[in-house]
Amino acid sequence: MSPAMAVDLYFEDVPVGAELVTASHTLGDDDVHAFARLTRDHHPLHTDPDYCRGTPFGRIIAHGLHGLALMEGLKTELRLYENTSIASLGWDRVRFRAPVFPGDTLRVRVRFESKRETRDGARGIVLERLWLLNQRDETVIEAEHSALLKKRGGA
């Protein structure tokens, strides 16, 4: 499925099994420090190059939650549910598979895993499987996300 065909999907439009890939984003040192300031998480793994030289990573790594937030942001740029999203119902099965370093160029692969109507039938829930990939096509984070969507003609 092309990203252009996937703008503003209603529940009925979501093609189970289809995959999309987002544009890429190169993570900068300033991004990691801004996330640390925003979240108040100043652990030295994310902020202190001298400390990091003594770790298995050898240098600063991005926060895992920064990568997860970036997954949502890159996916949002696809405009899948620009006017049809009701709510995010949550993230599940989040796994941090490899570190994300400043300088990494990241993109997200999204697959529509399944969908089901809500109990009242007025809305639908879509389960997405997502992978955050670096410039070497390595999975650095994988997760599942549930989205509550409008149905055509629904309230």
Residue-averaged pLDDT of the chain = 95
- Nearest alpha carbon to residue 6 among 75, 88, 78, 74: 78
Residues 82-91: b if buried by 16+ CB within 10 A, e if exposed: eebbbeeeee
In this prediction, residue 5 carries a pLDDT of 65
What does the pLDDT average to over 26-43?
97
pTM: 0.92
Q: What CATH number has the domain bearing residue 102?
A: 3.10.129.10
Q: What is the pLDDT of residues 106-149, one digit of tens each?
A: 999 999 999 999 998 889 999 999 999 999 999 999 999 999 99
Q: CB of 21 within 8 A of CB of 109?
A: yes
Predicted confidence at residue 4, as pLDDT, reads 60
Mean pLDDT of 4-24: 90
> Residue 22: inside a domain, yes or no?
yes
Residue 67 lies in a domain: yes
- Residue 83 inside a domain? The answer is yes
86 to each of 63, 124, 137, how far by Cα in Å? 28, 10, 32
Residue 27 scores a pLDDT above 70: yes
Residue 120 lies in a domain: yes
Let me know if residue 44 belongs to a domain: no
Residues 93-110 pLDDT 10s: 999 999 999 999 999 999
Bridge partners, 139 (sequence order): 133
Alpha carbons 85 and 9: distance in angstroms, whole number: 9
Task: Please give the residue range of the domain that contains residue 68.
Answer: 3-27+63-150
Question: What single-letter DSSP state applies at residue 122?
Answer: S
Answer yes or no: is 155 within a domain.
no
Supply the pLDDT for residue 3.
Answer: 63
**Is the pLDDT confidence value at 54 over 60?**
yes
Q: Is 17 helix (H, G, I), strand (E, B) or coil?
A: coil
Number of domains in the chain: 1
| Residue 70 covered by a domain | yes
CB 86 within 8 A of CB 123: yes
> For residue 26, what are the β-bridge partners?
105
| Residue where the block lists tokens 């570190």 | 99
Q: Note whether residue 46 is domain-resident.
A: no
Instruction: Give the pLDDT of residue 2.
Output: 65
